[in-house]
Amino acid sequence: MPDVATIYVIGLSLTIIGMLGGGLFWLGGEFREIRMRFKQIDERFREIDRKFDELRGYVDDKFNELKGYIDSRVNRLSEAFSSYQEFFIELLMTEGVIKPEKAVIAKNEARRIMRLATSTNPLTKEEWKRLGELLDKDPNDLTYEEALELRELARKIIREYMDYAEAWKLLMYASMMVGLTKKKREEQGSG
């Protein structure tokens, strides 16, 4: 028969093993619960990330929509101003309010637009060359068709370089030439 000390050690060992087993079982349950809560937190973070992505997409869409709207309004305003300016200058030239000699001032200013030929181009190389030829030509030798061509080139430049004063001056000069050549044409037709 086992002695008392052995029974005591076996009993104590079984008690400790039982307590450890129960404690580990309880800890396992707690860790399982903690793991479940972390999964819930991860799921919530994924949901928050998804909502932020949706919000970012919505904001980007609205920003692009607003940018497009503003761009279209600025372009419309630019075209309206160009059209008004062309009409007014043509009218002043046709009525003789602006003297043909004064067009040289606008021509010299418009010549500065040629420096933009090296940057992004709304015109082809040939169109830049043609623009130079038309600007070099004496205003009195310019035909009505050439003046219209000059104005069309100026309009193309305005679309790209509306933030340059030289572009507007080129358009003014081109409109002056349209008015001047139109007036000469009318005078030749009636004279």
10-residue mean pLDDT profile of the chain (191 residues): values are 81 85 83 89 92 92 92 82 79 79 68 58 84 90 94 90 84 89 84 55
Determine the pLDDT at residue 169: 85
pLDDT at 39: 93
Other C-beta atoms closer than 10 Å to the C-beta of 63 total: 10
Contacts of the segment 18-24: beta carbons below 8 A, 24+ positions apart:
none
pLDDT for the residue numbered 74: 82
**How many of the other CB atoms lie within 10 Å of CB of 175?**
26
Among left, alpha and beta (phi > 0; psi -120 to 50; other), residue 7 is alpha
